[in-house]
Amino acid sequence: MCGIVGYTGRKQAAPILLDSLSRLEYRGYDSAGLAVRNGTALAEVVKATGKLHHLADKTDQGRALAGCCGIGHTRWATHGDPSLVNAHPHVSGNCSGSGSGAVESDVVGVHNGIIENYTELKEKLLRRGYTFYSETDTEVAVKLVDYYYKKYKIGPVDAITRTMVRIRGSYALALMFKDFPDEIFAARKDSPLIIGTDEEESFLASDVPAILKYTRQVYYIDNHQVARVSPGKVVFYDLNGDEVPMPLTEITWDAEAAEKGGYEHFMLKEIHEEPAAVRDTLNSMVKDGKIDLSQTGLTEDVIRSIEQIDIAACGSAWHVGMAAQYVIEDLAEIPVRVELASEFRYRKLPLSRNTLVIVISQSGETADSLAALRVAKERGAVTLAIVNVIGSTIAREADHVLYTLAGPEIAVATTKAYSAQLIAADVLAVHLAAVRGTVSPEREAGLLEELAAIPDKISRILEEKDRLQWFSSKMANTHDIFFIGRGLDYAISLEGSLKMKEISYIHSEAYAAGELKHGTISLIENNTLVIGVLTQKELYEKTVSNMMECKSRGAFLAGITTNGNFSVEDSVNFTVYIPKTDEHFMASLAIVPLQLLAYYTSVNRGLDVDKPRNLAKSVTVE
């Protein structure tokens, strides 16, 4: 969603803010803006619609804005259309809010999230004499802070905490006050925000890549906390206005990991990083040939007590859950239910202390997944988070945490984070089975050998990407694509279809192959592309039969299958072979050609691969 940055120190703020915003472009946005103070009562506010370079041009790459304290924002529209007047930053004064220039305003702010009761708060402020120039909930929040600040003649921290008590919804706020020209005040509830320090400088950002160039020392501000940020110093407060200590975390991954490294797009780079992401995640869970999940705190006694597993996630993480369902049920013989996190919280699902709820999220900040986690905890279930970001909200609030080691993922369409989550779920499934005695020690060792070979097999698939690039050029003008499979292959199809539709804008659907005849086959016509995933031996012939039904109606067929096991070349028009592995783990291999196919199709259609329209990397609102 929206991106927030902030800087206060001894350097000119605007160029740093622009650079930091450029590293948050992957989050998706429709407008951008800066507000900078130069030690005076006036704040220079500049906004632009469209891409960030428009804002950079307006400010001469930031050089035109003097001042060493500032905040910046990239907006993804929720309340109000994309426009200059609705772009952030917003001010407490009565102005047009639509252009550039000096603004005499007591409070200037930016915001990520959604304020649910903004209409009620706006009506209150209108009765108090405030006027509004935008359609945003952010302007309401800024003016509510201003109202408390002036009415009670209190400091910024107290004014912000009073506001937080009144606001319902999610938010990350960064605010500047006229009377505190070299300080930034931040507040957070359910939307991501980090604060970095380095000697005489401090930084704010929605995500680590924005400030990693400048510092590796960061604080993860907690829910319902306020931070007072001054050059080189950060003080945290709770809702009572009392100071609270917070741990400083050192970011260990290299800043170059958030750069393209010579690749044309982040997505292609991240696909090529999958072997390393999978290997690193494996090595963190398997040591000396044995699974070691001691870092999660999930004991063998807890594992033996599990009677039901619920997996809650969104998007690609939900597809990981769908694949994990098949593997866990088959190996560990535990019933598994996979729920969309956005539905989980609203259903009256029976949970108990013997239910393990697994929440999967790359960012650890996904709003619906976080809500599902909290519901699970309220109902007494044991919770396990599978996340990629250390210190994220979901990681902090879950009973147990399993970290994936994918490193930073910049492209909106997830690839390596998905693969890291998938391998983590597979190792977890083997561990559950071993502890509960549903697989023998010999079988466990064999499964771990198969998992250890996955990274090298992914590398072998990547070496054959030229055929996929050629095929994508032939299908780039296709209007409809159907991905089909049975069992685990259906779970793979779901992710393959999502990758295709989100970055190529081609209509794409995934179906359990046996369901085609229950209505969907009526959509098949000449040159409709049907991609069959065929990695499960017992289900192979049935899926091929379903594909033949499509072919008889004019469909063009492609198949993803394993070397040596099946021969489909006589049946389909284009075949991709992947290396053999245990059938439980085929998703880790079969997804790679589907990711590459989506990538090359998007490139061939001339689209923005890394920042597809209308999408954001981290969905931090419901």
Give the residue among 256, 252, 246 at the shortest CA–CA distance from 195: 246
pLDDT score at 255? 61
pLDDT at 390: 82
Q: How far is CA 373 from CA 167, 401, 583, in A?
A: 22, 12, 31
Q: Average of pLDDT values for 486-506?
A: 96
Element (H, E) at 587: helix 587-604
- For the record, the structure tokens of 471 come out as 């095929």
Sign of torsion, CA 216 217 223 228? Answer: negative
Exposed/middle/buried for residue 319 (C-beta within 10 Å: 0-12, 13-18, 19+): buried
Residue 349, CA atoms < 13 Å, CB-side half-sphere: 29
Give yes or no for a contact between 280 and 423, defined as CB atoms under 8 angstroms apart: no
Return the HEC string of 82-128. CCCCCCCCEECCCCCCCCCEEEECCEEEEEEEEECCHHHHHHHHHHC
Phi, psi of 522 (to 5 degrees): -65, -20
Q: Which helix (H) or strand (E) holds 574?
A: strand 574-578
Q: How many CB atoms lie within 10 A of CB 542?
A: 13
Residue count (the chain) = 622
How many angstroms from the chain centroid is the CA of residue 66?
A: 34
Q: What is the mean pLDDT of residues 118-129?
A: 95
- Residue 533: which of 475, 582, 492 has the closest Cα? 492
Give the pLDDT of residue 375: 94
* Separation of alpha carbons 105 and 150, rounded Å: 12
pLDDT score recorded for residue 511: 92
Phi, psi (rounded to 5 degrees) for 536: -105, 115
Extract the tokens encoding 576: 């991709």
Q: What is the mean pLDDT of residues 596-607?
A: 94
Which of 186, 104, 99 shows the shortest CA–CA distance to 141? 186
- Check residue 567 and give its pLDDT: 67
3 state SS of 217: strand
DSSP state of 355: E
Q: Using alpha carbons, list the distances in angstroms from residue 134 to 58, 64, 173, 452.
A: 21, 26, 17, 55
Q: What is the mean pLDDT of residues 114-125?
A: 94
Element (H, E) at 58: helix 52-58
DSSP-derived letter for residue 190 is B
CA distance linking residue 456 with residue 588, whole number of Å: 11
Using CB atoms within 10 Å of the CB of residue 379, give its burial: 0 to 12 exposed, 13 to 18 middle, 19+ buried.
middle
Task: In whole angstroms, give the CA distance from residue 277 to residue 462.
Answer: 14
User: Distance from CA of residue 153 to its chain's centroid?
Assistant: 40
400 Cα distance to chain centroid: 20
Cross-strand pairs, 44: 36, 102
Tens-digit pLDDT profile for residues 58-87:
999 999 999 999 999 999 877 778 889 999
> Angle, nearest 10°, between helix axes 587-604 and 488-504?
20
Chain segment 521-551, per-residue pLDDT in tens: 877 888 889 999 999 989 988 988 888 888 8
Sign of the CA dihedral with 196 first, then 141, 80, and 191 last:
positive
CB 17 within 8 A of CB 5: yes
Residue 466 has pLDDT above 60, yes or no: yes
Choice between 42 and 166, residue whose per-residue pLDDT is larger: 166
Helix (H/G/I), strand (E/B), else coil: 295 = helix
Positions annotated as catalytic residues are 2, 617
- Answer whether 360's CB lies under 8 Å from 319's CB: no
- Strands (DSSP E) found in 167-271: 169-177, 180-189, 194-198, 201-205, 217-220, 225-230, 233-237, 243-244, 249-250
Sequence letter at residue 17: L
Over residues 504-518, the mean pLDDT reads: 89
Mean pLDDT of the chain: 91
Give the C-alpha separation, 3 to 209, whole Å.
11
pLDDT at 392 over 90: no
Neighbouring-strand partners of residue 509 = 482
What is the pTM (predicted TM-score) of this model?
Answer: 0.76
Q: Which of 451, 419, 352 is nearest to 590 (CA)?
A: 419
Measure the CA–CA gap between 404 and 362, rounded to whole angstroms: 8
pLDDT in tens, 184-220: 999 998 888 999 999 899 999 998 889 988 999 999 9
Cα(374)–Cα(367) distance, rounded to whole angstroms?
11
Domains along the sequence of the chain with CATH: 3-252 (3.60.20.10), 266-462 (3.40.50.10490), 465-604 (3.40.50.10490)
Residue 136 has pLDDT above 90, yes or no: yes
The per-residue pLDDT for range 427-443, each reduced to its tens digit, is: 999 999 999 999 999 99
Mean pLDDT of 157-166: 96
- Closest by alpha carbon to 595, among 260, 318, 259, 270? 270
Instruction: With CA atoms as reference, report the closest residue to 61 among 48, 79, 78.
Output: 48
Non-local CB neighbours of 53 within 8 Å, separated by 6+ positions = none
Q: Of 602, 576, 520, 578, nearest to 553 (Cα)?
A: 520
Across the range 135-155, mean pLDDT stands at 95
